[in-house]
């Protein structure tokens, strides 16, 4: 097995629909410029409230990608 070195970056995804959609949006956007992403870790979850209802989910996550 090959030894791999990873670089981590922090992303914040948002969605009006769900936590999962916020994570998926962040990873999808990062994939347009970051290659070989391997894993992610959710660091925090928060949301916006409008008129006493959840208006938006925001998820901060760390994404790791393998260095070439």
pLDDT in tens, 24-66: 999 999 999 999 999 999 999 999 999 999 999 999 999 999 9
Residue 2 predicted with pLDDT over 80: no
The token pair at 54 is: 């959840």
Q: What's residue 3's pLDDT?
A: 87
Whole-angstrom distance, CA of residue 68 vs CA of residue 55: 40
Whole-angstrom distance, CA of residue 12 vs CA of residue 57: 10
pTM for this entry: 0.88
The token pair at 5 is: 């070195």
**Which domains are present in the chain?**
6-66 (3.30.1660.10)
pLDDT band at 68 (very low <50, low <70, confident <90, very high): confident
Express each pLDDT in 11-22 by its tens digit: 999 999 999 999
Asked if residue 43 lies in contact with residue 26, where contact means CB atoms within 8 angstroms, the answer is no
Nearest residue to 16 (alpha-carbon basis) of 63, 47, 45, 55: 55
């Amino acid at each position: 097995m090959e030894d791999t070195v990873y670089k981590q970056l922090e992303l914040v995804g948002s969605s009006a629909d769900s936590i999962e959609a916020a994570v998926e949006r962040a990873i999808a956007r990062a994939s347009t410029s970051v290659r070989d992403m391997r894993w992610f870790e959710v660091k925090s979850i928060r949301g916006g409230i409008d008129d006493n209802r959840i208006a938006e989910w925001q998820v901060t996550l760390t994404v790791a990608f393998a260095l070439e």
